[in-house]
Amino acid sequence: MRDHTNEKAMAGPRPVVMSGPSGAGKSTLLKKLLKEFDGVFGFSVSHTTRSPRPGEENGKDYHYVTREVMQAAIANGEFVENAEFSGNMYGTSKAAVQAVQAKNLICILDIDMQGVKNIKKTDLNPIYVSIQAPSMDILEKRLRDRKTESEESLKKRLDAAKVDVEISKEPGLFDVIIINEDLDAAYGKLKDTLLEEIQKVRDTNKS
Ligand SMILES: Nc1ncnc2c1ncn2[C@@H]1O[C@H](COP(=O)(O)OP(=O)(O)OP(=O)(O)O)[C@@H](O)[C@H]1O
Ligand SMILES: Nc1nc2c(ncn2[C@@H]2O[C@H](COP(=O)(O)O)[C@@H](O)[C@H]2O)c(=O)[nH]1
């Protein structure tokens, strides 16, 4: 059977991959984009086996599933990419990407470094953005202040962050690395990076 995800990817605007250490500010920044540019961006809702955090909604932030359900769906070829992160499974389903691209929106994927490497093997052709904190100390403070992690999970995320920051230096891996120190400044850089694609969607919607 042919994979229609890729045909849609060729036709519509380029997706955006937002990656970077847990706690660097990816969700904060992408939520600002979705709010300011209503009708331009759409979020690719991932699947995960982790439990929802207070305030998170099933189907909006993630599709919360069991490991068994997720493994079966992966085996069935339903995912573009998947990864194990900090003791849980995460993955982007083909349906999640298609749902956004069917509306001719810029599809935003919030994924870890394993996801970036796997998306590179597809022909999704996204813009790759790495969001990083100014230092490991600041990253740790943000994660602690967010109050979402146990000590064990915090340690796993900080260990993964160190690896992530090193790998992100690989030439050509990311189109842009944004250091999220001042939120407004980081958001400004993100918008500058995506300006051309935003304009394309606006032009298409006008005509
Ligand atoms: N520029 C900033 N200055 C201070 N705090 C920030 C800044 N950007 C984000 N934060 C805060 O840092 C915390 C982590 O941000 P956020 O949840 O967006 O990170 P994330 O990269 O999406 O993490 P994860 O990958 O775990 O989902 C949040 O509490 C957020 O409010
Ligand atoms: N490879 C993938 N990584 C994903 C996906 N969805 C989220 N993530 C990444 O997981 C970590 C942790 O997220 P959290 O919500 O538990 O804090 C973070 O780095 C996300 O970018 C996915 O579908 N694939």
What strands, in cross-sheet order, belong to the sheet with 88-93? 62-64, 46-48, 88-93, 79-85
Pocket test for ligand 2, best of 28, 111, 122 (most atoms within 8 A of CB): 111
Q: What is the pTM of this model?
A: 0.95
Task: Identify the H or E element spanning 204.
Answer: helix 183-206
Does 93 sit in the ligand 2 pocket, CB within 6 Å? no
- What's the CATH number for 4-43+106-206? 3.40.50.300
Closest Cα to atom 13 of ligand 2: 22
Domain boundaries of the chain, sorted by first residue: 4-43+106-206
Give per-residue pLDDT as tens, 122-155: 999 999 999 999 999 999 999 999 999 999 999 9
Q: Known catalytic residues? A: 53, 146, 157
| Complex ipTM over 0.85 | yes
**107 backbone dihedrals φ, ψ, rounded to 5°:** -85, 120
Does 86 sit in the ligand 1 pocket, CB within 6 Å? no
Distance 8 CA to ligand 2 centre (A): 23
Euclidean distance between CA atoms 140 and 70, whole angstroms = 30
> Residue written as tokens 């919030």?
110
- Using 50, 70 and 90 to split pLDDT, how confident is the model at 11? low
Give per-residue pLDDT as tens, 156-195: 999 999 999 999 999 999 999 999 999 999 999 999 999 9
**Please, which residues bridge with residue 107 across strands?**
42
Euclidean distance between CA atoms 200 and 169, whole angstroms = 30
Query: What's the Cα-to-Cα distance from 85 to each of 89, 149, 153, 180, 184, rounded to whole Å?
Result: 6, 13, 10, 22, 29
